[in-house]
Amino acid sequence: MASSIQPGDHKEFMRLALSLAQKSPPKPTNYRVGAVVVDVPSNTILATGYTLELEGNTHAEQCCFMKLAHQHGVPEEKLGEVLPSDLALYTTVEPCSKRLSGNLPCVERVLRLAGCIKTVYVGILEPEKFVQENTGRKSLKDAGIEVVHVEGMEKEILDVATAGHVKE
């Protein structure tokens, strides 16, 4: 779907991701995250996702990729063969580099699409509550994927992300 958001309006794409995060059920064991995959040249939103949208303890980015794989009729590991080559991923919280559930970390999912995803825009860097020393950012940069912090929405994003958490 062609986006009504102006090309390059990173804050508006992040607002869209945040509105998706709000659909995620609040739980003390995960962050409520929203994600959007955009084809940059055509400014088309290819997929959206949020934490626990799909079955199986799914993260927002994972939901985007699962939907794209289903749409294209390929397994998720083959997505890089069918997607356009200039995509941006907007995610309210930095992609995880480790999953305690045994699911593939979102950073590894993004790395599989290194030929397609050129930039990952994040609203907040991953807090160290669940994953200490997140190495994801470095892995993405090493693969030639730019990681850009979209500043100015941190409090809003963190409030949504941590709804359902026990406040200390």
Q: DSSP class of residue 76?
A: G
Q: List, as one string, the DSSP characters of 84-95.
A: -S-EEEEEEE--
In sequence order, which residues have a C-beta less than 8 Å from that of residue 35 and are 6 or more positions away? 17, 20, 48, 49, 50, 60, 61, 63, 64, 89, 90, 91, 92
Distance CA 19, CA 36 (A): 11
Distance CA 134, CA 143 (A): 16
Pair 88, 38: CB distance under 8 Å: yes
Q: Is 61 a catalytic residue?
A: yes
> Which residue in the list 12, 53, 61, 76 is annotated as catalytic?
61
Could you give the residue numbers annotated as active site? 61
